[in-house]
């Protein structure tokens, strides 16, 4: 629960794949009508050391996750 609350506040989580050191994953929560996390929007990419590009991708992912959450709440 503590990790979920951290993800909720931060708006995303970044996971380094230990088994496959060349890739990383990012995920943003999607919230239901009640504000609970119901799903996540995720991308997997190759680690290339380009922090600026990673930040850009996470920002886009958060925007899309927020749009989906808004759509869910409107139903």
pLDDT tens digit sequence for 12-67: 888 776 677 788 899 999 999 998 889 999 999 888 888 899 899 999 999 999 99
Distance, in Å, from the CA atom of 45 to the CA atom of 24, rounded to the nearest integer, reads 6
Q: Per the structure, how many domains does the chain have? A: 1
1 secondary structure, DSSP code: -
Starting at the edge strand found earlier in the chain, the sheet holding 37-46 runs 13-16, 23-31, 37-46
pLDDT for 30 equals 94
Q: What is the pLDDT of residue 17?
A: 66
Domain carrying residue 52: 2-74
pLDDT at residue 11 in the model = 86
Q: What is the CATH number of the domain that holds 46?
A: 3.30.450.40
Which ranges in the chain belong to alpha helices (H)? 2-10, 51-74
Check whether 7 has a pLDDT greater than 90: no
């Amino acid at each position: 629960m503590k990790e979920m609350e951290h993800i909720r506040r931060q708006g995303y989580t970044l996971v380094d794949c230990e088994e496959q050191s060349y890739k990383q994953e990012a995920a943003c929560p999607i919230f239901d009508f009640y504000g609970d996390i119901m799903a996540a929007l995720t991308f997997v990419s190759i680690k290339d050391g380009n922090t600026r590009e990673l930040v850009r991708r996470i920002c886009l992912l958060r925007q899309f996750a927020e749009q989906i959450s808004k759509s869910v709440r409107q139903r």
